[in-house]
Amino acid sequence: MVEKYNIKGGTPLRGEVNIGGAKNAVLKLMAASVLVKGATKIHNVPDLTDVEIMLSVIEQLGAKTRYNRSSKSIEIDASELTSVTAKYDLVSKMRASFIILGALVSRCREAVVALPGGCAIGERRVDFHIKGLEAMGAKIKIENGYVIAKAPKLAGCDIYLDIPSVGATENLMLAAVLADGCTRIQNAAREPEIIDLANFLNAMGADVIGAGTSDITINGVKQEDLHEIEYTTIPDRIEAGTFMTAVAATRGKAVLKNIFPAHLTFFTNKLLKMGANIKLISPTAIEVSCKSRLNTVNFVTQPYPGFPTDLQSMAMVLLSTANGVGIITESLYENRFMQVPELRRMGADIHQDRNHAIIKGVKKLNGTTLRASDLRAGASLVVAALMAEGSSIIENLYHIDRGYENFEQKITLLGGKIERFDSDITSSEDLKGVYNAGI
């Protein structure tokens, strides 16, 4: 049964919301758990379809898993692996699962991993992953859509990434953990999720230095040096940014709890310049509020610590009703303005010129039927619907479910009028009854 959102806009969001564990961190920790011949327990795991897919990938390798949703924890016992193959039917559903390549090559000295294929937000090639592994001594060929890697011996070396690719940095970190000697990754990605992965690896006995900088050093250790651990995932900075946007966009007031404010510095500064109010309540909580129409600022997406591409669609929603004209430059992906046609249908005044979007603020957006094209674009449409006049229907919720745990429940707790319903409710009279029926 296909599900959709029915959202009635115009209600300021107020109250408190707890931010979940970082999707982009926990998936990589799960892959890293394959390095240990033992059990690993990960806490603060969000209940997402992407997590389910990664569990299936790991289970295909022969590892045993247990997912306790009530305690938000996962146990992965990789004492014995019976396969080194990550099949296309799973890898094609989630690009992040390609990270298993580095872990398998590191531990098993061989791997057969499906190429992840295309992506709705643009081309995301794996050349840097493969070239880095080859520099460490892996012999790699691509056949029938699979990367086939064999590395009887992995040796540390210096690797320079042409761009600070997050996925390549993570894959090479995992491969280097059990390599002979020292591996140095230059121009490495600096995202908080990279730091979290390094902390996880070091907790299990690896030797990773410099995560969070552009120069990461991994001193290889022996298999017997790695041991079982328990670890808690960092909070999701993109989910936090989404709720910061939703509160400011609806001119509400809410406290976001269980976050790391330092991970949101760039976005926080932009919101402050636009006229939102943000207060530090505690080391892990902030209060966001907005009383009047925001002012425009310009945004340029950049690798961390710059403005995150995952919040670019949120910035566009804010600019759509702000005072003046703002420009967004998407410098990382060539096709990440997927939300533009849908926002235009709501009345937004947006002109797109290749990787630039020029947004002239209008007085209000109007509710309509919308379709999510990818994870972040879909979430931005939810925020747009919450701030719009009238009701909106949002389709393709499976995109949103990939990255937002209990999204509608959290919005409802803040007073937002959002309901999930089955697509067999088709008539306007049926939709009018959605709220009354409690569907």
Between CA 6 and CA 430 the distance in angstroms is 11
Residues 219 and 248 both lie in one domain: no
Residues 169 and 299 both lie in one domain: no
The pLDDT of residue 121 is 41
260 contact partners, CB below 8 Å, separation of at least 6: 192, 234, 235, 237, 284
Domain of residue 289, CATH code: 3.65.10.10
The pLDDT of residue 317 is 98
Look at residue 432 and tell me whether its pLDDT is greater than 90: no
1-5, 158-162, 287-291: least confidently modelled range: 1-5
Where is the domain boundary, 232, 256, 291? 232
- Arithmetic mean of pLDDT, 74-86: 97
Residues 256 and 342 both lie in one domain: yes
**SS3 of residue 144 by DSSP:** coil
Look at residue 439 and tell me whether its pLDDT is greater than 70: no
Model confidence band, residue 118 (pLDDT cutoffs 50, 70, 90):
very low
The pLDDT of residue 126 is 86
Between CA 272 and CA 267 the distance in angstroms is 9
Per the model's pLDDT, the better-predicted residue between 379 and 1 turns out to be: 379
The rounded Cα 49 to chain-centroid distance in angstroms is 12
Q: Which residue has the tokens 């990960």?
A: 42
Where is the domain boundary, 204, 232, 260? 232
Residues 239 and 361 both lie in one domain: yes
Residues 10 and 109 both lie in one domain: no
Residues 301 and 430 both lie in one domain: yes
Residues 255 and 370 both lie in one domain: yes
Between CA 21 and CA 2 the distance in angstroms is 26
Q: Which domain holds residue 14?
A: 3-20+235-437
Where is the domain boundary, 214, 232, 250? 232
Residues 282 and 222 both lie in one domain: no
Between CA 188 and CA 203 the distance in angstroms is 21
The pLDDT of residue 96 is 86
Of 147, 175, 24, nearest to 86 by C-alpha is: 147
The rounded Cα 252 to chain-centroid distance in angstroms is 25
Global pTM value: 0.93
What's the chain's average pLDDT? 93
Tokens, residue 255? 């406290």
Model confidence band, residue 101 (pLDDT cutoffs 50, 70, 90):
very high
Other CB atoms closer than 10 Å to residue 142's CB: what's the count? 12
Alpha helices in 161-284 (DSSP H): 166-176, 192-203, 237-249, 265-274
Residues 38 and 15 both lie in one domain: no
- Arithmetic mean of pLDDT, 199-204: 98
Residues 327 and 187 both lie in one domain: no
**E strands along 200-348, which residues?**
207-209, 215-219, 229-232, 253-257, 277-282, 285-289, 299-300, 325-329
**SS3 of residue 6 by DSSP:** strand
* Residue 108 annotated to the active site: no
Active-site hit among 119, 157, 182, 290 = 119
Model confidence band, residue 117 (pLDDT cutoffs 50, 70, 90):
low
Residues 325 and 178 both lie in one domain: no
Residues 260 and 145 both lie in one domain: no
Expressed in angstroms, the distance from the first to the final Cα of the chain is 14
182-195 residue pLDDT tens: 999 999 999 999 99
Cis peptide before 305 (omega within 30 of 0): yes
The DSSP call for residue 295 is B
Look at residue 426 and tell me whether its pLDDT is greater than 80: no
Tokens, residue 339? 């939300």
Look at residue 428 and tell me whether its pLDDT is greater than 90: no
The pLDDT of residue 95 is 84
- Arithmetic mean of pLDDT, 405-421: 97
For the chain, the domain total comes to: 2
